[in-house]
Amino acid sequence: MSGRLIDADAFKKHLASFVVGGEEAILKNGGGNYWIDGVHTAYREIDNMPTVEQPHGTWIESKQKKGRWYCSECIHTDPTAGTWRELFDFRYPFCPNCGLPMKRTEE
């Protein structure tokens, strides 16, 4: 995944902290103050930016070796896991190799 996820509401709050009068002044649109007009445009466009779903992986059991599980995204294996429940509940709710959170699937 390229880029990074941000908290858009926290960013808007941060952006408003640079303007005297905060969010209220930004939403008035400045009326000729080019700097505040620019901040207003940026503030408004934050909500128009595309959103992404947080990526995740799933643990998949190997067909060749019962009890060996691998990450669906990076193919990292854990040869000592045992059962799916043991793997997910007690060992890794995320992949120790790529770091993605694992989505719970049925056994």
pLDDT tens, residue by residue, 10-56:
888 888 888 878 888 777 765 567 777 788 888 888 888 887 777 88
Residue 32's pLDDT is what? 66
- The secondary element (H helix, E strand) that includes residue 69 is strand 69-71
Q: Is the pTM of this model over 0.85?
A: no
Rounded CA-CA distance 52/27 in Å is 26
Would you give the DSSP letter of residue 70?
E
pLDDT (tens digit per residue) in 79-99: 565 665 666 665 677 888 888
Interhelix angle 8-16/34-46, nearest 10 degrees = 170
Residue 1's pLDDT is what? 45
Neighbour tally for 37: CB within 10 Å: 14
